[in-house]
Chains A and B, each alone.
Chain A
Amino acid sequence: MITIQKRDSVTRKQGALRQLASIAGALMIGALVIFLSGYNPGTVYIEIIRGSLGSGYSISETVQTVIPLLIMALGVTICFKVKFINIGPEGQFYTGAMAATYFAITWPDLPRGALLALMCASSIAMGGLWCVIPALLKVKVGVNETLVTLMMNYIAIKFVAYLQYGPWKDPSVIGYPVIRQFSQSGILPDALGVHSGWIIAILLLIGMIALLGKTKYGYKITVLGENPNTARYAGYGTAKLLVSATFIGGGLCGIAGFIQASGVENSLNAMLSNGWGFTSIVVAWMGRLKPLPIVAVSVLIAVLIQGCTYLQISMGVPYFMASVIQAIILFFILGSDFFMNYRIVRRQGDKEAEARR
């Protein structure tokens, strides 16, 4: 008979070892899947690394993937810290991108600094608002935020599609509907060969580490998340704290939308996010809501995403293979969580169990 037992405690080192073991395990199972599909696992893995980190170009592509993943994962983190299960980074990303695009195509002739600042600020406001609506619904009438944030994703995505096919359609492009390209003023300048969104990402990362770990506000948020009764007892305005934290979280996702529209696409369309809003939830979760591990996980996922895109081109491996490998890795890492806290024991009878003791 097989039963599950709770482990007493796991040291930090044991924890790290298990994480590494789970990644190794994922790569092994992934290798098996690749092999069964008729490819050489070794070559595939090497190609993934080459495609994501092998050249200046591939590195810049990977960095461009890390930026939105990281920023949105930070946004998700602060929401999760106050036990607000934000499944809506995707929607907050799009509303942020929409706000930025509005200014970029309405006032294309503003000086670059002014226009970018306007786009950035508006993306925070809109992304934040998109996250605050479910927060208010939760605080005022007790509506479950998981469902509301999830559904509001689709509202935002479909609204972008509407803009793309309707009011914001570029009349000068014949054939398929696109939104007008941004003017130079609306485009993030490059820095070291990548759009300067990476500088914003690093600043936000530092800001987030400081906010969560060093400020009174971060302290109160932690108290609220860990024990709401105690937060009320201490007289913290719990509703205000929740709403402000969700505004920050949504605002971050909004910034990611602004960066992606301005720095990568130089425009807006309904596929701008590549679904990375959802991926960022996994990133935040795998990073255990801690900023630095989140950076590491963002890089890992970005390498997989970019490497697998490259696989399609170099080896003709269909992209679904890439998704399979990604899924296996996620599965293993999340699974390792379980093995951190529990172990599985086999037992035939008490006598044998006693012998193993």
Chain B
Amino acid sequence: MAYIQLRNITKKFGSVYANRRICLDIHKGEIHALLGGNGSGKTTLMNILAGRYKYDEGNILIDGRKAVFHSPGDSVKAGIGMIHQHVDLVDSLSVEENILAGTEKGLFPTRKKARGKIKDLAELYDFHVEPEGKVYQLTIGGKQAVEILKVFYRGASVLILDEPTSVLAPIEARALFVNLGKMKENGCAIVLITHKMQEVFDISDRVTVLRKGEAVYTSLTADTGQSMLTEKMVGHAIEGRTEYRAAPRRDIRPLLAVSDVTVHNRFGSAALSGVSLDIRPGEIHGIAGAAGSGQKELCDVIAGIAAADEGRILYNGKDIAHMPIAGRAAKGVRIGYVPEDRMDTGLVGGMCISDNVMLRRIDREKGLFFNEKKARDLALRIIGKYGVDAVDPAQKLKDLSGGNIQKILLGREIEEAPDLLITAYPVRGLDIGATNYIFGLLRERRDSGMAILFVGEDTDVLLELCDRISTLYRGRLTATLDAAGTTKAELGLFMAGGGTGGTR
């Protein structure tokens, strides 16, 4: 019998079904992949199991007994631990303080025993984290390890991971998977939420596909295939793409030339040091590198949000390194930017769609007043043109799914008709359908002459989509390569700091 059984779980948000009569079995000693597109209800379902949401109908059985969760605390007591997509740690506290937070009893608890337990756990799973080290010093992979230690410390035997590899570099993802294998052997039940097909076959024992809030398919992974899962996920078969790509043209004058740019972070160390690259009209220029290698600083400094401490950024020959964003449009500098964390920068979740589409052009509007009709028309145009699944421009942005929010942001930036479009991880967290759509859109813009800077994490995607790729390693540019003729291995080498400039 399965350790955890979800029976006919239904959860509604307003009148929308996020989960509809979902049944799911989770076995000990097994990795269960939960596959599905954006808004398919994967995360909602697991939040229910983690006690974060209340469900409207159905039952949860643990070890055959009915369980009711009133709070995340109840779920933790039942041995369930969830690792969320975004790590939720206090940066300024130590690893051990983060792990112990909320578990210590009494005014003056002793740390000695706890520290031993943390060390044992870390050793068991080969996590190289010092209990006394501060969290802000860790890489994203390290922070994730702390989250995992945290739930194990609290006695979890069921581990839910929500798209854990989306923030990790490939090498970190591999290490995580090795660990998940170990946990499985130790008798843990693991649920892996993902939308990456490869991960399902790399690691899972059983897979369930969710689509539009319903569990449409469950199978042992060994008994199924990629095309089957894709079909179940999307609801119909997907035809293969044919891709034509011309070799990058070297004779075109670059639109943007970044030369020797250095940016210091707020602690004074160089987040970007001496980076030079150029971007030509009609090319997709990829930026590859492990998370936190200076991608954000590079994008921000080109977009004008951050100032370069050294170096020049020439846009059609004009230095824009210190030109404020407000004056750029008037001077013919047209740069669109789709930032990495769209809800943090770029959009206002609490405002409606039509308010959000006006964000960039408000200063170019004539008169004192906000033109509601114009905003509405623009919103409707973007909704229609970019296939946004929304009925009313007056809908709050934060009520839309991630894919739709991204389409609105991308649509808005493209409608501004920029010469250069910066996109940072534009498909992070999006499903296959939305991802393909956005890649198609970028190619089409490229073909019509736009210069595109594409910050990506997946080397396959980078090689397929981009014309040229620059690799960043710890804030330094290690190489700029033609995508055609470059192999994954080569790219990986430069991303890891190998090759010419990659010494530590």
Contact = CB atoms under 8 A, between A and B. Distances in A.
The interface centre, meaning the residue of A217, A227, A232 with most chain B CB atoms within 10 A of its CB, is A227
B394 interface: no
Contacts of B345: 227, 229-230, 232-233
Given A219-B358, A227-B349, A350 B324 contact: no
Given A233-B305, A353-B68, A226 B350 contact: yes
Contacts of B326: 235-237
Nearest to A224: B348
B418 interface: no
A220 B369 CA distance: 11
Contacts of B304: 235
Interface in B356-403: 358-360, 362-363, 365, 367-370
B251 interface: no
A314 interface: no
Interface string B124-136: 0000000000000
A234 interface: yes
A15 to B, nearest CB: 15
Contacts of A357: 68
Given A226-B348, A353-B70, A235 B328 contact: yes
A215 B344 contact: no
A75 interface: no
A233 B70 contact: no
B337 interface: yes
Given A216-B369, A233-B305, A233-B337, 4 more contacts: A215-B368, A345-B70, A350-B66, A357-B68
A23 to B, nearest CB: 27
Interface residues of B, number: 36
29 contacts: A9-B13, A9-B14, A215-B370, A216-B367, A216-B368, A216-B370, A217-B368, A219-B362, A219-B370, A222-B348, A222-B351, A226-B350, A227-B348, A227-B349, A229-B344, A229-B345, A230-B346, A230-B359, A232-B345, A233-B325, A233-B345, A233-B346, A234-B325, A234-B359, A235-B325, A236-B363, A237-B326, A347-B70, A353-B70
Contacts of B325: 233-235
Contacts of A3: 70-71
Nearest to B324: A235
By Cβ-Cβ distance, the 5 closest A-B pairs, closest first, are: A235-B325, A235-B326, A229-B345, A350-B68, A227-B348
A218 to B, nearest CB: 7
Contacts of B367: 216
A289 to B, nearest CB: 13
B282 interface: no
Given A219-B358, A237-B326, A226 B351 contact: yes
Contacts of B370: 214-216, 218-219
A220 B70 contact: no
Contacts of A354: 66, 68
B351 A223 contact: yes
A155 to B, nearest CB: 34
Contacts of A229: 344-345
Contacts of A234: 325, 359-360, 362
Interface in A229-287: 229-230, 232-237
A140 to B, nearest CB: 17
A357 B69 CA distance: 12
Contact of A219 (B328, B344, B355): B355
Contacts of B359: 223, 230, 234
A223 B337 CA distance: 17
Contacts of A223: 348, 351, 359
A135 B349 CA distance: 26
Given A345-B70, A347-B70, A354-B66, A214 B348 contact: no
Nearest to B69: A350
Contacts of A217: 368
A136 to B, nearest CB: 20
B339 interface: yes
Nearest to A218: B370
A3 B68 CA distance: 14
B493 interface: no
Nearest to A233: B345
A350 B303 CA distance: 54
A214 B70 contact: no
A5 interface: yes
A5 B70 contact: yes
Contacts of B220: none
B469 interface: no
A216 B371 CA distance: 8
A230 B398 CA distance: 14
Contacts of B368: 215-217
B348 A230 contact: yes
Contacts of A216: 362-363, 365, 367-370
Nearest to A219: B370
B347 interface: yes
A208 B322 CA distance: 36
Nearest to B368: A215
Nearest to A353: B68
Interface in A311-357: 345, 347, 350, 353-354, 357
Contacts of A353: 68, 70
Interface string B273-310: 00000000000000000000000000000011100000
B67 interface: yes
B418 to A, nearest CB: 14
Contacts of B337: 233
B72 to A, nearest CB: 11
A4 to B, nearest CB: 9
Contacts of B328: 235
A242 B369 CA distance: 19
Nearest to B11: A8
A341 to B, nearest CB: 15
A5 B325 CA distance: 44
Interface in B41-70: 54, 66-68, 70
A230 B356 CA distance: 10
Given A216-B370, A219-B355, A232 B347 contact: no
Nearest to B342: A230
Interface string A188-230: 0000000000000000000000000011111110110011011
Contacts of A227: 344-345, 347-350
B277 to A, nearest CB: 22
Interface in B62-108: 66-68, 70-71
Contacts of A237: 326
B127 to A, nearest CB: 32
B369 A214 contact: yes
Interface in A81-130: none
A353 B69 CA distance: 10
Interface in A1-60: 3, 5, 8-9
A347 B68 CA distance: 11
The CB with the most chain A CB atoms within 10 A, among B66, B348, B351, B365, is that of B348
Contacts of A236: 326, 363
B410 to A, nearest CB: 15
A264 to B, nearest CB: 34
Contacts of B365: 216
A282 B67 CA distance: 44
Nearest to A3: B70
B77 to A, nearest CB: 11
